[in-house]
Amino acid sequence: MTKLVAAALTLFLAATIATAQSPTPVAAPLTVIRAGTLIDGASDAPRRNQLIFVRADHIEKISDASAQIPAGATVIDLSSSTVLPGLIDSHTHIFLWGEDPAKGGYDANILKAGIALRAARATFACRRALEQGFTTLRDVETEGAGYGDVEIKQAIAEGTIPGPRLFCATRAISSTGGYDLQDYAPELDMPKGAQIIDGPVQARKAAREQLDHGADWIKVYMTHRSWTDKQGHLVSQPTLTVEELKAVVDEAHGWGKKVACHAYNGIGLQRALDGGCDSIEHGLEITDAQIAQMAGQGTWYCPTLSPYYEDWGPADTPAGKRDRARAAAHEISFKKAMQAHLKIVFGTDIGGMPWTESMAQEFPRMVNLGMSPMDAIHAATSRPADMLDMKGEIGVVAPGAYADIVAVSADPLKDITVLEHVNFVMHNGAIYKNETTK
């Protein structure tokens, strides 16, 4: 044993003894929320007049309103509100600031903003998400901002900035010719919005690097450009091969992590499924056979309806035709996925849309296509919790779960758009917003 190790061991033992001798810790203060209606995120029916006991960052128990509230507890009266679990958006980009062509489109994010400005914008995005009741985000890549998401997550964890619980995908992976920035002079060595690989060896190396630097998920682009063919059908350019994707999936699964695949349709979507991806992102056009394959493999489906209704080109231009074909195909696939009972999770792709927009606008899009309001709520609560390996811990108001709790003033089962006006937000037991008394 070296002297250094011996000294460290002595310090460790001293610390252990000190801990053992300290008095029994006093229980954290109790907060009791009176919920007029509780939609717990997992059950099919709401419950009336419930009491939610919160201690520190967890939910201790749920009782009906007749239960006694201990003296000294802080009571929050949400008896005229509908209370739900903190919402989960499974497809966000905190490092994107919109893609409005009039403001330079996607490229301006990378070419006109340095890393400090991008971090400031990501900080704003995190606060915006939390204020809207989204207490967990699966943030599916930083679009050229490197491992910034992992550091924003760190800033949230240390209490430097407010923000939701983040699942970070870091840089994302695509292949040569498979991601922006594109269409610049070939002599220029342009930055890329994703890590570019060619071949299974590079694919595995990229996954290893990203996992090493803190990726909670790996994001892979399985399609890139899209256009309409002479018949008006949507076509999208495939990127990684099955072998390349399999290397990524094998590596990620070895680390106990999952792989999200951006895939519009066609060959790229088929390769995503054959390569064993865990979630299909967007999935604008999924064939019946692919729906069956997803059901068989237990693949999650994260549609993102809202952004495909924004920034359409003029109807008679190639871009305009493509934009309309994308939205039309997406609606059909969404309905098919619902009928097949695929595991649909709520995703906005916000960041692609400006962060000033409402995230909950995706709810009425889903409901208008035939999803029941309760199912849409489950798509943003208990179902993604399962996908994120946090079943029972988030996306549910139940004993033992993190105290991520939101409220709205009306019944979202009657009018889903009320979720656009969350007026109470608790995250990890701390209140970030309470406008219920106004």
**Residues at the contact surface with Zn ion, assessed by CB under 5 A:** 349
Q: Which is nearer to Zn ion, 153 or 282 (CB)?
A: 282
Distance (Å, whole) CA 58 – CA 122 = 27
In the complex, what is the shortest distance from the CB of residue 361 to Zn ion, in angstroms, rounded to a whole number? 16
Q: Which is nearer to Zn ion, 164 or 373 (CB)?
A: 164
Distance (Å, whole) CA 88 – CA 382 = 9
CB 324 within 8 A of CB 315: yes
Q: Which is nearer to Zn ion, 349 or 362 (CB)?
A: 349
Q: Which is nearer to Zn ion, 323 or 349 (CB)?
A: 349
Q: Which long-range contacts (CB under 8 A, 24 or more apart) does 295-300 make?
A: 295/340, 295/341, 295/342, 297/273, 298/343, 299/273, 299/342, 299/343, 300/342, 300/343, 300/344, 300/345, 300/387
* 61 DSSP β-pair partners: 53
Q: What would you report as the CA-atom Rg of the chain, rounded to the nearest whole angstrom?
A: 23
Q: Which is nearer to Zn ion, 270 or 306 (CB)?
A: 306
Q: Which is nearer to Zn ion, 260 or 286 (CB)?
A: 260
In the complex, what is the shortest distance from the CB of residue 349 to Zn ion, in angstroms, rounded to a whole number? 4
Q: Which is nearer to Zn ion, 99 or 244 (CB)?
A: 99
Q: Which is nearer to Zn ion, 147 or 221 (CB)?
A: 221
Q: Which is nearer to Zn ion, 41 or 303 (CB)?
A: 303
Both tokens assigned to 273: 């499924």
Closest CA to 279 of 216, 373, 213, 355: 216
Question: Which residues have CB under 8 Å from 299's CB, separation 6+?
Answer: 273, 277, 278, 279, 280, 293, 342, 343
What values do phi and psi take at 414, rounded to 5?
Answer: -90, -35
In the complex, what is the shortest distance from the CB of residue 391 to Zn ion, in angstroms, rounded to a whole number? 24
CB 92 within 8 A of CB 138: yes
CB 362 within 8 A of CB 90: no
In the complex, what is the shortest distance from the CB of residue 352 to Zn ion, in angstroms, rounded to a whole number? 6
In the complex, what is the shortest distance from the CB of residue 95 to Zn ion, in angstroms, rounded to a whole number? 11
Q: Which is nearer to Zn ion, 39 or 122 (CB)?
A: 122
CB 194 within 8 A of CB 179: yes
Closest CA to 29 of 431, 434, 393: 431
Both tokens assigned to 387: 């996908």
In the complex, what is the shortest distance from the CB of residue 183 to Zn ion, in angstroms, rounded to a whole number? 20
Residue 248, helix vs strand vs coil: helix
Distance (Å, whole) CA 33 – CA 55 = 11
Question: Which residues have CB under 8 Å from 150's CB, separation 6+?
Answer: 168, 170, 213, 214, 215
Q: Which long-range contacts (CB under 8 A, 24 or more apart) does 319-323 make?
A: 321/228, 321/232, 322/226, 322/227, 322/228, 322/234
In the complex, what is the shortest distance from the CB of residue 206 to Zn ion, in angstroms, rounded to a whole number? 18
Q: Which is nearer to Zn ion, 180 or 349 (CB)?
A: 349
CB 41 within 8 A of CB 85: yes
**Residue with nearest beta carbon to Zn ion:** 349
In the complex, what is the shortest distance from the CB of residue 115 to Zn ion, in angstroms, rounded to a whole number? 20
CB 168 within 8 A of CB 155: no
Q: Max alpha carbon distance in the chain (Å)?
A: 78
In the complex, what is the shortest distance from the CB of residue 83 to Zn ion, in angstroms, rounded to a whole number? 30
In the complex, what is the shortest distance from the CB of residue 281 to Zn ion, in angstroms, rounded to a whole number? 6
In the complex, what is the shortest distance from the CB of residue 100 to Zn ion, in angstroms, rounded to a whole number? 16
